[in-house]
């Protein structure tokens, strides 16, 4: 395994955390030289490409091929890094601009290429159990499907829909199928490959497939912000309830294997359970209307999903695959990271609840700024724990290896 790739991933997380810290700083003290919206777009695009996609694709590749993989996959990782950094810089300077859109398109095309390589060679049939395969295939399908959102933006804008709900829903379409589709299902697929013994039962296969398919109608919860007709609320409630029932059934079926789960996995599964339950509550009109009026609740949901559900599963896979060194230090570091996440999410979720009773958290934004400063610190500590890391750019081999 070229140890530079885990180093690239953790380096990207550190940079992502620094951008998040900068955004929090701007909300407290301001920054005349920076455009908040530009930096926010840069932060979110880099989170999806430079951290989540890069780490997940690296882990899938390592799970399938081990320490040695071909030039085709090395190119995927290299181009992903290029497009991620390109988006980070161009969105920070220009916002939505032909340069940043070009790097975004390059990232989408890289995702297509990765999906083609993984899905057309039949390699998952050999290297992953059935539960993992279903989740990974579903995640890659949704990643490709998510690209319809950004590709629809230009036609919508040209047709005069730029300042409409339809335009915003196209953005939410991308976010939903990236986060709830690709990222979460892929992370669960990697977890299933490492911890679970397949589906073993036709009924569980059906529940697992239904869980994956339920992600499609689950998109409707992202359209509730415009207070749609009652039938949309009903369909959203049905989809979120189905997603919850499938999750409960899967958890009950695999509960006998929970003794093998790591600390991070247990925390992630608990966070996913909370996230899925919150989706059901969101489909109750009186709750949903309130939630969409509270920006911090939306931010809290996104960070619960990314920091509390997906990232612990990614870090756990980094540990299991031997990317880190001393296990005791990493275990303590994992505990530290989860404490930071818990503090951050608690402040985000509690403040809107308090504000409903006209009670505010003193220095709310400053509290978030202080807590946010701990994320890059945790990233640096993770980087220090990497085994024999190097940041040198790899030289691609002249002859491709196996499974190109």
Q: What percent of the chain has pLDDT over 70?
A: 94
Q: H helices within 32-70, ranges in order?
A: 36-46, 54-65
Q: Which residues pair with 386 in a beta bridge?
A: 324
E-assigned strands of 229-373? none
Q: What percent of the chain has pLDDT over 90?
A: 68
Condensed to tens digits (0 to 9), the pLDDT of residues 50-59 reads 999 999 999 9
Q: Which residues of 311-334 are buried (b: 16+ CB within 10 A; e: fewer)?
A: bbbbbbbbbbbebbeeeeebeebb
Residue 193 zone, left/alpha/beta (φ > 0; ψ -120 to 50; rest): alpha
Instruction: Quote the tokens at residue 57.
Output: 């694709």
| Model-wide pTM > 0.85 | yes
Helices (runs of H) and strands (runs of E) counted in the chain: 20, 0
**Is residue 404 over pLDDT 80?**
no
Residue range 140-160: mean pLDDT, rounded: 91
What's the CA angle centered on 181, arms 305 and 116, to 5 degrees? 135
DSSP assignment of 200-241 equals: -SHHHHHHHHHHHHTHHHHGGGGGGGG---HHHHHHHHHHHH
**Is residue 175 over pLDDT 60?**
yes
Tally of CB atoms within 10 A around 361: 14
Q: Which residues of 28-65 are buried (b: 16+ CB within 10 A; e: fewer)?
A: eeeeeeebeebbbbbbbbbbbbbbbbbbbbbbbbbbbb
- 324: helix, strand or coil: strand
Condensed to tens digits (0 to 9), the pLDDT of residues 373-384 reads 999 999 999 999
Condensed to tens digits (0 to 9), the pLDDT of residues 302-347 reads 999 999 999 999 999 999 998 997 788 899 999 999 999 999 999 9
State residue 69 phi and psi, 5-degree precision. -135, 165
pLDDT at 65: 87
Q: How far apart are CA 304 and CA 345, in angstroms?
A: 7
Condensed to tens digits (0 to 9), the pLDDT of residues 189-240 reads 999 999 987 666 777 889 999 999 999 999 999 999 888 899 999 999 999 9
Q: Which of 38-42, 43-47, 252-256 has the lowest mean pLDDT?
A: 252-256
> Could you give all domains of the chain from N- to C-terminal order, each with its CATH number?
4-385 (1.20.210.10)
What's the CA angle centered on 29, arms 37 and 23, to 5 degrees? 35
What's the CA angle centered on 329, arms 324 and 334, to 5 degrees? 80
pLDDT at 394: 43
Instruction: Quote the tokens at residue 212.
Output: 């994956």
* Sign of the torsion angle spanned by Cα atoms 281, 350, 16, 171: positive
Residue range 241-264: mean pLDDT, rounded: 92
What's the CA angle centered on 117, arms 113 and 123, to 5 degrees? 160
Q: How far apart are CA 286 and CA 295, in angstroms?
A: 16
* Sign of the torsion angle spanned by Cα atoms 45, 92, 225, 357: positive
Name the DSSP class of 386. B
């Amino acid at each position: 395994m070229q140890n530079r790739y885990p180093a690239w991933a953790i380096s990207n997380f550190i940079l992502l955390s620094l951008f998040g810290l900068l955004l929090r700083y701007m909300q407290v003290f301001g920054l005349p030289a920076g455009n908040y919206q530009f930096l926010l777009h840069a932060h979110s695009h880099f989170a999806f490409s430079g951290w989540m996609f890069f780490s997940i694709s690296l882990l899938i590749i390592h799970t399938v091929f081990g320490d040695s993989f071909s030039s085709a996959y090395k190119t995927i990782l290299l181009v992903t890094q290029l497009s991620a950094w390109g988006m980070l810089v161009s969105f920070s300077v220009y916002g939505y601009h032909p340069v940043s859109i070009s790097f975004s398109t390059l990232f989408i095309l890289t995702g297509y290429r990765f999906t083609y390589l993984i899905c057309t060679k039949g390699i998952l049939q050999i290297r992953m159990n059935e539960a993992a395969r279903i989740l990974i295939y579903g995640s890659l399908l949704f990643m490709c499907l998510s690209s319809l959102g950004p590709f629809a933006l230009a036609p919508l804008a040209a047709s005069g829909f730029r300042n409409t709900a339809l335009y915003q829903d196209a953005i939410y379409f991308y976010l939903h199928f990236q986060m709830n589709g690709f990222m979460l299902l892929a992370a669960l697929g990697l977890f299933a490959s490492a911890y679970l013994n397949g589906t073993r039962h036709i009924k569980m296969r059906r529940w697992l497939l239904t869980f994956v398919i339920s992600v499609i109608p689950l998109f409707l919860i992202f359209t509730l912000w415009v207070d749609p007709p009652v039938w949309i609320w009903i369909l959203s409630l049905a989809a979120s309830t189905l997603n919850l029932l499938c999750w409960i059934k899967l958890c009950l079926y695999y509960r006998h294997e929970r003794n093998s789960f790591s600390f991070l996995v247990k925390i992630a599964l608990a966070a996913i359970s909370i996230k899925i339950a919150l989706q059901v509550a969101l489909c109750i009109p009186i709750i949903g209307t309130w939630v969409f009026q509270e920006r911090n609740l939306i931010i809290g949901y996104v960070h619960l999903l990314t920091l509390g559900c997906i990232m612990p599963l990614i870090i756990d896979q980094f540990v299991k695959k031997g990317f880190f060194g001393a296990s005791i230090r990493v275990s303590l570091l994992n505990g530290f990271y989860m404490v930071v996440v818990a503090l951050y999410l608690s402040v985000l979720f509690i403040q809107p609840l308090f504000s409903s009773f006209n009670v505010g958290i003193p220095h709310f934004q400053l509290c978030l700024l202080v807590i946010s400063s701990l994320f890059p610190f945790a990233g640096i500590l993770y980087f220090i724990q990497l085994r024999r890391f190097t940041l040198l750019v790899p030289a691609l081999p002249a002859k491709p290896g196996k499974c190109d």
